[in-house]
Amino acid sequence: MSFTQEEQLNDIYNLILTSGTREWERTQLVSAKNALEDGADFSAELSKLEANLRPLAVRNNLTPDVAEFYLKLTGESVNEAADNRVVHSGDDPVYQERAIFAGGCFWCMVESFETMAGIVSVLSGYTGGHVAHPSYDQVSGGYTGHVEAVEIIFDTRIITYEELVALYWQITDPTDAFGQFQDRGSQYRPIIFVQDERQRQIAEDSKQQLIESGKYKQPIVTEIQTAETFWPAENYHQQFYKKQPKRYKQIKRSRQQFLTYQHLKGKVRTVLNKHKKTF
């Protein structure tokens, strides 16, 4: 992707002015801007900026807009996608239903649901908090009480709510009340948000079955709460797995490794429990 000096400089200016840019990131960007305005070598200064951002970039800890800018600096592509906050709406209330799940970073929740047959749309967002129209920085800082979550519109003729709940247990750690995998904090705690009493009963029954299965040694701590206002996240968070596939695969890999190991232990524990009951 072509990325001219003028475009790079415009991006730096815009990121400095963007409210979502963290103060430390803004300091690095301002330093680069001032040096360039004073006549510093452009390539050398951009290389220095890349090196300064790298420690957070490799830990996936840059704010989204700065992360996209960093990918441009390093020559990695960023796939753009339409703003699916606009198209996320049900058009058949008779055969369409909504489900909301929180299970860690919403970046890793979308693909698993979106690629299932019968899914109309999946939207990343925030819910369960006490502030209207929360921003990513507010939620990630733990200031609003929200959790990162996904809202799913699905066709009930093709897929059931029971199947969605079953998948949810497969892609989350129901024993971790303080986050999920590498994502720590109350904004990442696992919660099933139910739309009505039917969904609540399905979720409660499914949770009880999981408890009785003996698959997990630790208690099942996933909460089941009544759905509240779902606030769509900023567009750069939507369909992250398509927009930044390389970065997404790195995050997904570590999450999947943990889940594979946990599920293997669960199978062994289930077999042992059945074996004990026969004696």
Q: Which of 70-84, 207-221, 231-245 has the highest mean pLDDT?
A: 207-221
Q: Longest Cα pair distance anywhere in the chain, in angstroms?
A: 82
Over residues 20-31, the pLDDT tens digits come to 789 999 999 999
pTM beyond 0.85, yes or no: no
**What are the structural domains, with CATH classification, of the chain?**
5-73 (no CATH), 84-241 (3.30.1060.10)
Residue-averaged pLDDT of the chain = 87
Two tokens, residue 207: 């949770």
Higher pLDDT, 51 or 273: 51
Residue at 136: amino acid letter = Y
pLDDT at position 1, please?
Answer: 43
How does 58-87 read in b/e, with b if 16+ C-beta sit within 10 Å? eebebbbbbbbbbbebeeeebeeeeebbee
Over residues 169-194, the pLDDT tens digits come to 999 999 999 988 878 899 999 999 99
> Number of helices (H) and strands (E), helices first, in the chain?
11, 8
Select which of 53, 105, 122, 150 is catalytic: 105
- Contact by Cβ (8 Å): 178, 186: yes
Residue 239 has pLDDT above 90, yes or no: no
Say what percent of the chain tops pLDDT 90.
50
Over residues 74-93, the pLDDT tens digits come to 876 555 545 566 667 777 78
Please state the rounded mean pLDDT for residues 196-225: 95
Residue 275 has pLDDT above 70, yes or no: no
Measured CA to CA, the distance from residue 113 to residue 71 in angstroms comes to 27
Q: Is 108 annotated in the active site?
A: no
